[in-house]
Amino acid sequence: AQSVTQPDIHITVSEGASLELRCNYSYGATPYLFWYVQSPGQGLQLLLKYFSGDTLVQGIKGFEAEFKRSQSSFNLRKPSVHWSDAAEYFCAVGWNYGGSQGNLIFGKGTKLSVKP
């Protein structure tokens, strides 16, 4: 069965420090991949997505993510974190195979706290 793992439940970084949030998926077929961000009490906002092509994708708010097929990973990065980045981040993965309709499976989320 397909699954998406975000190994870190909670991460705290200092403002201005770099950030990497991890995401791994299981299943052999080529996936398409997303990162979403959720501020408290809000819906989910799409940060970036990967379907094919260049494995390093740029998103909004200065985020980027790299797809590594050999590691089944799609880690989210930001070179310098701002206090406003404090939120919960969700990795989501979909697969095109018969019957799936490409429905997304979400990881359980990583909560990011930012220290001043």
Partner 1 sequence: NAGVTQTPKFQVLKTGQSMTLQCAQDMNHEYMSWYRQDPGMGLRLIHYSVGAGITDQGEVPNGYNVSRSTTEDFPLRLLSAAPSQTSVYFCATRPHQNYGYTFGSGTRLTVV
For partner 1, the binding residues (CB under 8 A) are 4, 9, 32, 34, 36, 42-46, 49, 51, 90, 92, 96, 101-109
Closest approach, Cβ 6 to partner 1, in A, equals 8
SS3 94: strand
Closest approach, Cβ 90 to partner 1, in A, equals 6
- Choose between 70 and 101: whose C-beta lies nearer to partner 1: 101
Q: CA 3 to CA 14: how far, in whole Å?
A: 31
Closest approach, Cβ 38 to partner 1, in A, equals 9
